[in-house]
Chains A and B, each alone.
Chain A
Amino acid sequence: MASVLLLWLAVCLSGTWAVDKGNFKTCDQSAFCKRQRALKPGESPYRALLETMELTNTRLTLQLINDNNKVRLLLELYRLQGNITRVKINELKPLKPRYEVPDVLIREPPTEPLSLLSQDENGVVLSLGAESQRVIVSARPFRLDIMEGRDVLMSLNSRGLLAFEHLRMRKDTFSYKVTSTVASVWDNIKRTAKEEEEKVEDGMWEESFKSHADSKPSGPSAVSLDFSLPGVEHVYGIPEHADTLRLKTTDNGDPYRLYNLDVFQYELYNPMALYGAVPVMLAHNAQRTTGIFWLNAAETWVDISSNTAGKTVFGKMLDYVQGSSETPQTDVRWISESGIIDVFIMLGPTPKDIFSQYASLTGTQSFPPLSALAYHQCRWNYNDQKDVQEVDAGFDEHDIPYDFIWLDIEHTDGKRYFTWDPHKFASPKEMLQGLVEKKRKMVAIVDPHIKVDSNYKIHNEIRSKGFYIKNKDGGDYEGWCWPGSAGYPDFTRADMRAWWASMFAYDQYEGSMENLYTWNDMNEPSVFNGPEVTMHKDAMHGAWEHRDVHNLYGFYVQMATAEGLIQRSGGVERPFVLTRAFFAGSQRYGAVWTGDNAAEWDHLKISIPMCLSLGLVGISFCGADVGGFFKSPSTELLVRWYQTGAYQPFFRAHAHLDTPRREPWLFGPENTALIREAVRQRYTLLPYWYQQFYQAHQTGEPIMRPLWVEYPQDPATFAIDDEFLIGRDLLVHPVTEEGARGVTAYLPGKDELWFDVHTFQKHNGAQNLYIPVTMSSIPVFQRGGSIIPRKLRVRRSSTCMEHDPYTLYVALNPQRTAEGELYIDDGHTFNYEKKEFILRKLSFTKNILSSVNMAPDAQFSTRSWIERIIILGASKPSKVTLKTAGGQESQVEFEFDASMSVLTLRKPGMNAGVDWSVTLQ
């Protein structure tokens, strides 16, 4: 029997569990990728025609010619503000326009002057602003080198992999012959005389995958370019992949793929495409961080190779000792199916410079309502209003806070979004009102596939307005999704998005209320019966093929939905929209989660690098389904996942329809207590999280960030992805191993101190610290030198805690100083944009802790006060004096724990929004 069981298990595991890789293309199965990847490094056929160079104050243009086919390209080079160089390459005279991605850049990036330093027949040298940075344009073969001083920071086309498939007429068809006779015959003769005969390869004019045909009316149109990064051994980014933080070389397998796909039961640690795509890569070494933003929304593959890959540490040492070593170098190659080359080279030099450079192009993380940072309870599905009410009551009964309860697709009337099941959710407003009374909120799903049903208002309107994406023959595209046959609105159209947004108005979306928010799922788009479970590439968005815009679809869906939520409140309330598919710039519209993961330990582990990678490219509001979506977690895994999720930006439990219920109280009182504690820790830290989001909204810096971002010169941090920082000041090493009895956390910074937030024990930086753990342990450390505000009065929802007092945790560094910030506003409106907020700088120096207004032009008042100040690493004072505005002084009582050097100031009591100082004597 045992063997039968094993066999059965094996069949299940291999057969039904793992992703069916056969449903998704490899590079070899994607004609353009195969074609492009067949090109090997060598001398580029492209030559710069220096005589065509035009240099204005802000722009250099130059023609490139492919000596093989004489097709000319136009190179544009811009120097952008903030140390960014933009390189654009398009056909000089394309047969028809090629797609240039709109709406992702927040504006036309402002330029800075470019000046010519020197020029000869081999090339030109341009100065990139005031620094010693130059661009060398070499003519034959064409390449670009970006230098700083004597160092090459990045080279383009240095391996000769620039390839630009020009648009062409199909030669093997009747129409071509007609056109060519009617059109300029002379031209044709000239061309054929000059050019090499162009090979027509398989897959250029049509290709098929499984049972799906792609008609490819425009023929081959791929673009490709290589980038060399001397001195770089670590590259990051290009989410979304279920892989390590540090990207791997791809020489022995497929490139990393960027093509938004609904991958059923995705596999870990491979370069397969997932739900979202952000074509941004960061390169880092101890001296510098640079970034490449490849603005192209078509299917894209990224190859990474390294000259040190596979070399052992010993091998590297040997190279070093022998002096024979070449500099380590990483080579990257981007291949996209269509569009143009439009690449932003961000030159850092620090990680934070990269974040602000990228933010200057695509914007920063939206500032969510505070409650969205609290805990979310989701399940596919909460069955009916009674179920919702009972789960809500369950949280109160077990004294576990939560802010949002979610409804998945089953809440609708037959998967018709914007509607409610008439039996199960007969009175949604009553249900929502019940939540309002608890100061809680709800999210209901609204997917972009629209049921084809002539009795469905949304469908009828979209059809009558002609808003659906069309198939290649001009009819409305129809695919199979949750409702059965469905149409897909063309979200690339601004008028369609405006109409969609208007559907969220309270009088349009029946049963909706202010505390109902939205979740956009399946927006890759997912088409169950489409190629690779997505849309046919020859579907039409107006003049553009789906091929050109694919990776943008989800971005637009979330954009339109967020706009709808803003509009319904007359522009007052901040929206909250969760999306599964995303693109560069999606950070502006809400939160992202890592899709349909599984209740497995490895999926818990991968949630860290997946969210770190997203944070690096601007999308800070990231989380993974707590507990795992598919399958049922063991109790231990569930508890560990809550503990991890409590310290990740988006904190939502979710579960598949087929899994047993797993509300936090269903696993016995001990586990309920463990989960309650994890969720409570999240709530106490909400002031810090909120402040981090405010910062991210201002600067574009990631909230959940890899250690190397804060310790860029410490190579020991470069590949760490089992721990992370929240902001600068909290280091988290969640327990992600089954049966763990301890974890080893790397505490960075040789001058740093780290305080265990639970025990207040002090640890030195630059060490690997072994931490014994029990089931209740969540290893978290506060950096010495920081001040973190918390609210310790955890209530049933974050809104209930609005007026509660703060406790300040002041962790002293070896210099006995610390600083932090405190940000307060109303928590849910855009009034902060009208300067209605409080921003205090808290600093501890020379035994004085003070609160100073950092935004004197801002106005806001709060009822919150400071109830407690805990100073870690303090010595015992004889007297503590509080001074408030107006010079009033009073004594503050305190307690001192000598064993831990913890000083607790009891109830100083001042308002959190005013100037004050506390002196230790």
Chain B
Amino acid sequence: MSYQYLLLLLLSLGVSAVEVQRPRGVPLSKRQFYEEGKPFTCLDGSRTIPFDRVNDDYCDCEDGSDEPGTAACPNGSFHCTNAGFRPAFIPSSRINDGICDCCDTTDEYNSGAACQNTCRELGSKEREIMKEMAEIAKEGFLLKQQLIQEAKSGLEEKKAKLAEVQVSKKDLEDKLEALRTVKETAEQPEKEAKERHLKAWEGKLKFESLSTFTIIIASYVSVADLLTHSELDPDSDGSFTEAEAQVKHFFLLDKVDTAAFESVWNNIKEKYVSESNADIPAPVETPQEETREPVPENDSEQYPEEDIPEEEEDDDEEDEDEDPDDGDYKVSPVRISIRFMKDDHDLDLHFVCRNLEKEISFDFGPGAEFAYLYGQCYELSTSEYIYRLCPFNRVSQKPKYGGSETNLGSWGKWTGPEDNVYSLMKYEHGTGCWQGPNRSTTVKLTCGKETVVLSTSEPSRCEYLMEFTTPAVCQEPQSLYPDAHDHTEL
């Protein structure tokens, strides 16, 4: 085995005079465990062997520590110094396998593989890239600070706008006074009359500016839903009539008394939520609080071209399932009116309010640095398709040469790892695939000066991956590569 030592000696002398002598494949940090001439104790302490069994091409230690420089141990690892580049550990199975793994060629000392030392080249290349990246990061980080500032003022603006809406609450109460008349009419037994009045009510509604709040309630707590909740039955006669429901409904509308509503809501929330597939947010009093409340994902009001959210369908089903006795029960006029409203494009003002609310509610990052992406779209053109990413909204794909657009997913959530949540975006529930899942897209965010879609791919059928650069994820440059300078010295 002495020739191996000779070889080792020659090698270590050859590579660098500074390098301290140690068995092949041992990092400097572990040199003290391999003391020439003294019995070697496996690093897991499992046994002690004569020193000439270190790197003798036979595995004696369970942990592989006696063969740092040969492939004898299945679990060993080999340290390449890679002077000029970055040191590395490779599995010892890559020693002398004929493939150059270490840029300093030290892993192939006996395989006949003709490896070139590429460390310097790699090192300078890496330094160049790192420099470039540091520059990008620096500029990107500056941009990010700007973005944070802008987002801050933007948010305040929006909040102020909302507050305006809140002010018009008083206004609203007046309108509701009018509605109270409708309520009384609704209590009359004559159906025809009721409908006539409701129509009038409906007409009024149509032209009034209701607060967003009302819409939320109307959207999620329809008469039909209330009917299914007997805890709301005021006279406990077991017949929770439509009229009563409407009363209740209007009561809620009437007062716009959030405290009262909350108490009712808390009563029904649990049951309601548990019975519904949709994510129902608890309505909250102030917009400030609402910013922390997620808006239902499948709420499509932001996209007026789309259908009414599915939850209405569910409501119908629940009605049928749970109220078999109400066989002749019909969809309440109030609901009809609400549906009508939803379809009505005249309600632009409401949508503005809703959108405002929604925007405020998004998680735009710790400093809202992603807020600038909201309402924007970014495109990437490939040989076949044009991909379109509208952050916090949706991802789509359109064939270049005709054909309709495919939805690759709507905004879902941040899905980065715990320590870097804002590095991945998930868009889900896109167009369904034949025999497969609904399309979804993961957007990987990397630091860049520009906001650009870099690439798209479809690693799995209908699961897309998009690479996206934005200054919003840039970190403070100095923390990026803490020891970048150390390597250059080697």
- Residues from chain A with Cβ under 8 Å of B98 in the complex: 439, 800
Q: Knowing A16-B435, A399-B91, A795-B94 touch, does A439 contact B71 (C-beta < 8 A)?
A: no
B461 at the interface (CB under 8 A from A): yes
B288 at the interface (CB under 8 A from A): no
Tell me if A658 and B436 are in contact (CB < 8 A): yes
Tell me if B460 and A439 are in contact (CB < 8 A): no
Complex Cα–Cα for A680 and B93 (A) = 12
Which residues 269-295 in B have Cβ within 8 Å of A in the complex? 277
B457: nearest chain-A partner, CB-CB: A383
Complex Cα–Cα for A680 and B72 (A) = 15
- Residues from chain B with Cβ under 8 Å of A680 in the complex: 74
Tell me if A423 and B383 are in contact (CB < 8 A): yes
- When the two chains form the complex, which single residue of A796, A801, A867 contacts B72, counting CB atoms closer than 8 Å? A867
Tell me if B93 and A658 are in contact (CB < 8 A): no
A465 at the interface (CB under 8 A from B): no
B450 at the interface (CB under 8 A from A): no
- When the two chains form the complex, which single residue of B72, B435, B437 contacts A793, counting CB atoms closer than 8 Å? B72
- Residues from chain B with Cβ under 8 Å of A659 in the complex: 436, 460-461
Tell me if A387 and B459 are in contact (CB < 8 A): yes
B3 nearest CB across to chain A (Å):
15
- Residues from chain B with Cβ under 8 Å of A172 in the complex: none
B463 at the interface (CB under 8 A from A): yes
Tell me if B459 and A800 are in contact (CB < 8 A): no
Complex Cα–Cα for A386 and B463 (A) = 17
Tell me if A793 and B461 are in contact (CB < 8 A): no
A304 nearest CB across to chain B (Å):
36
B97 at the interface (CB under 8 A from A): yes
Scan B253-279; emit 1 where CB is below 8 A from any A CB, else 0.
Answer: 000000000000000000000000100
A792: nearest chain-B partner, CB-CB: B74
Complex Cα–Cα for A796 and B71 (A) = 12
A906 at the interface (CB under 8 A from B): yes
Complex Cα–Cα for A399 and B77 (A) = 12
- Residues from chain A with Cβ under 8 Å of B360 in the complex: none
Tell me if A796 and B435 are in contact (CB < 8 A): no
- When the two chains form the complex, which single residue of A16, A661, A795 contacts B459, counting CB atoms closer than 8 Å? A661
A634 nearest CB across to chain B (Å):
16
Scan B426-439; emit 1 where CB is below 8 A from any A CB, else 0.
Answer: 00000001111100
Complex Cα–Cα for A800 and B96 (A) = 9
- Chain A contributes a number of interface residues (CB within 8 A of B) equal to 29
Complex Cα–Cα for A250 and B72 (A) = 56
Quick one: which of B74, B383, B434, B435 has the most chain A CB within 10 A? B435
Complex Cα–Cα for A386 and B455 (A) = 12
- Residues from chain B with Cβ under 8 Å of A384 in the complex: 457
Tell me if A658 and B463 are in contact (CB < 8 A): no
Tell me if A796 and B97 are in contact (CB < 8 A): yes
B329 at the interface (CB under 8 A from A): no
Complex Cα–Cα for A794 and B437 (A) = 38
Complex Cα–Cα for A372 and B324 (A) = 65
A737 at the interface (CB under 8 A from B): no
- Residues from chain A with Cβ under 8 Å of B97 in the complex: 439, 795-796, 800-801
- Residues from chain A with Cβ under 8 Å of B74 in the complex: 680, 792-794
Complex Cα–Cα for A907 and B58 (A) = 7
Tell me if A438 and B99 are in contact (CB < 8 A): yes
Which residues 677-708 in A have Cβ within 8 Å of B in the complex? 680
Quick one: which of A399, A658, A793, A794 has the most chain B CB within 10 A? A793
A920 at the interface (CB under 8 A from B): no
Tell me if A658 and B434 are in contact (CB < 8 A): yes
- Chain B contributes a number of interface residues (CB within 8 A of A) equal to 27
Scan A787-807; emit 1 where CB is below 8 A from any B CB, else 0.
Answer: 000001111100011001000
Complex Cα–Cα for A907 and B57 (A) = 9
A668 at the interface (CB under 8 A from B): no
Tell me if B99 and A657 are in contact (CB < 8 A): no
Quick one: which of B57, B93, B459 has the most chain A CB within 10 A? B93
Tell me if B99 and A439 are in contact (CB < 8 A): yes
A201 at the interface (CB under 8 A from B): no
B462 at the interface (CB under 8 A from A): yes
Complex Cα–Cα for A867 and B56 (A) = 11
A437 at the interface (CB under 8 A from B): yes
- When the two chains form the complex, which single residue of A657, A661, A792, A796 contacts B94, counting CB atoms closer than 8 Å? A796
B99 nearest CB across to chain A (Å):
6
A401: nearest chain-B partner, CB-CB: B93
A799: nearest chain-B partner, CB-CB: B98
B458 at the interface (CB under 8 A from A): yes
Complex Cα–Cα for A383 and B277 (A) = 36
Scan B57-72; emit 1 where CB is below 8 A from any A CB, else 0.
Answer: 1100000000000011
Complex Cα–Cα for A639 and B412 (A) = 31
A660 at the interface (CB under 8 A from B): yes
Tell me if B463 and A660 are in contact (CB < 8 A): yes
Scan A371-398; emit 1 where CB is below 8 A from any B CB, else 0.
Answer: 0000000000001101100000000000
Q: Knowing A437-B99, A658-B436 touch, does A383 contact B93 (C-beta < 8 A)?
A: no
- Residues from chain B with Cβ under 8 Å of A1 in the complex: 277, 317
B382 nearest CB across to chain A (Å):
8
Complex Cα–Cα for A840 and B176 (A) = 99
B110: nearest chain-A partner, CB-CB: A803
- When the two chains form the complex, which single residue of B57, B71, B435, B459 contacts A658, counting CB atoms closer than 8 Å? B435
Tell me if B463 and A804 are in contact (CB < 8 A): no
Tell me if A800 and B461 are in contact (CB < 8 A): no
Complex Cα–Cα for A659 and B277 (A) = 26
Which residues 64-88 in B have Cβ within 8 Å of A in the complex? 71-72, 74
- When the two chains form the complex, which single residue of B57, B71, B436 contacts A795, counting CB atoms closer than 8 Å? B71
Tell me if B58 and A867 are in contact (CB < 8 A): yes
Scan B31-63; emit 1 where CB is below 8 A from any A CB, else 0.
Answer: 000000000000000000000000011100000
Complex Cα–Cα for A546 and B94 (A) = 53
B463: nearest chain-A partner, CB-CB: A660
Complex Cα–Cα for A226 and B100 (A) = 64
Which residues 413-471 in B have Cβ within 8 Å of A in the complex? 433-437, 457-463
Which residues 813-872 in A have Cβ within 8 Å of B in the complex? 867-868
A242 nearest CB across to chain B (Å):
21
- Residues from chain B with Cβ under 8 Å of A906 in the complex: 58
Complex Cα–Cα for A796 and B97 (A) = 9
Quick one: which of A657, A795, A867 has the most chain B CB within 10 A? A795
Which residues 564-589 in A have Cβ within 8 Å of B in the complex? none
Sample 15 A-B pairs with CB under 8 A, ordered by A number: A16-B435, A383-B458, A383-B459, A439-B97, A658-B433, A661-B463, A793-B71, A793-B74, A795-B71, A795-B94, A796-B94, A796-B99, A800-B98, A801-B97, A907-B56
Q: Given contacts A438-B99, A804-B71, list 6 more A-B pairs with CB under 8 A.
A: A1-B277, A657-B461, A658-B433, A795-B93, A795-B94, A907-B57
Closest 9 CB pairs of A and B: A800-B97, A658-B436, A661-B460, A907-B58, A795-B93, A658-B461, A660-B460, A795-B97, A423-B383
Using CB atoms and an 8 Å cutoff, list the residues of chain A in contact with chain B: 1, 16, 383-384, 386-387, 399, 423, 437-439, 657-661, 680, 792-796, 800-801, 804, 867-868, 906-907
